[in-house]
Chain A
Amino acid sequence: DQQVKQNSPSLSVQEGRISILNCDYTNSMFDYFLWYKKYPAEGPTFLISISSIKDKNEDGRFTVFLNKSAKHLSLHIVPSQPGDSAVYFCAASRTGNQFYFGTGTSLTVIP
């Protein structure tokens, strides 16, 4: 059973607009969440993380929001750029333990 879900397999956004990628999880024991970006034929690269003691973490154009009561996190990219086109994975874990990944959302930023 998927403990981390990304229900949108794809998303298209105009350049300069905001991209919002969503992720839901089922295990309330998860306390650490990450977002990865993956280009074709490459391994995922770490983007941004958030621990359960926070509800927001910002790094440049990337902001991750965590809603623990809803077991939901989202990644906001603003402004979106064509180079952001990639597959984005969210992952969750109990710190130091196994990681559970979502199935990815393919983002296309249209110039």
Chain B
Amino acid sequence: GAVVSQHPSRVICKSGTSVKIECRSLDFQATTMFWYRQFPKQSLMLMATSNEGSKATYEQGVEKDKFLINHASLTLSTLTVTSAHPEDSSFYICSAEQLTGLVGDTQYFGPGTRLTVL
């Protein structure tokens, strides 16, 4: 089955530094990838929709200059948290959409990246 990987799985960084998280679709091409942030009550908040070769579409309230998204190829999207602060500490989860033409295009989730900003 289709697999989506994220790297790194955990990262600890100092306040003010930037962190890059990679999301890869391993055996299918994903024209669309999604980035989510998981909050303590376990809801996933959609941050942005990333389309290959074009600018990401950010949800309201998400700072595009702070959360830089690059969808460089059909199998790779990256999220860079710039000038990270402790309040950015969270689980970041990506998903990739596989267009199957069947009932409901399938979305595959990555395992998440736990970011801790000291």
Which A residues lie at the B interface, using CB under 8 A? 1-2, 5, 9-10, 34, 36, 38, 42-46, 49, 87, 89, 91, 97-101, 103-104, 106
User: Is B43 a contact partner of A98 (Cβ separation < 8 A)?
Assistant: no
User: Is B44 a contact partner of A103 (Cβ separation < 8 A)?
Assistant: no
Q: Which B residues are CB-close (under 8 A) to A5?
A: 1
Q: Which B residues are CB-close (under 8 A) to A100?
A: 109, 111
User: How many residues of chain B get a CB closer than 8 Å to chain A's CBs?
Assistant: 27
B104 within 8 A of A: yes
User: Is A43 a contact partner of B45 (Cβ separation < 8 A)?
Assistant: yes
Which B residues lie at the A interface, using CB under 8 A? 1-3, 9, 34, 36, 38, 41-46, 59, 91, 93, 95, 102-104, 106-109, 111-112, 114
User: Is A104 a contact partner of B104 (Cβ separation < 8 A)?
Assistant: yes
User: Is A103 a contact partner of B1 (Cβ separation < 8 A)?
Assistant: yes
Q: Which B residues are CB-close (under 8 A) to A103?
A: 1-2, 106-108
Known: A43-B44, A44-B44, A46-B41. A89 touches B109 (CB 8 A): yes
| Chain A residue with Cβ nearest B6 | A98
Cα-based distance from A44 to B95 in the complex (angstroms): 11
| Selected A-B contacts with CB under 8 Å, 25 pairs | A1-B3, A2-B1, A2-B2, A9-B102, A9-B103, A10-B103, A10-B104, A42-B46, A43-B43, A43-B46, A43-B59, A46-B41, A46-B42, A87-B107, A98-B9, A98-B114, A99-B38, A99-B93, A99-B111, A100-B111, A101-B95, A101-B108, A101-B109, A103-B108, A106-B104
Cα-based distance from A50 to B50 in the complex (angstroms): 32
Shortest A47–chain B CB gap in Å is 9
Known: A44-B44, A46-B41. A99 touches B91 (CB 8 A): yes
Q: Which A residues are CB-close (under 8 A) to B38?
A: 99
User: Is B44 a contact partner of A36 (Cβ separation < 8 A)?
Assistant: yes
**Which of A42, A46, A97, A99 is B109 in contact with, Cβ under 8 Å?**
A99
User: Is A98 a contact partner of B111 (Cβ separation < 8 A)?
Assistant: yes
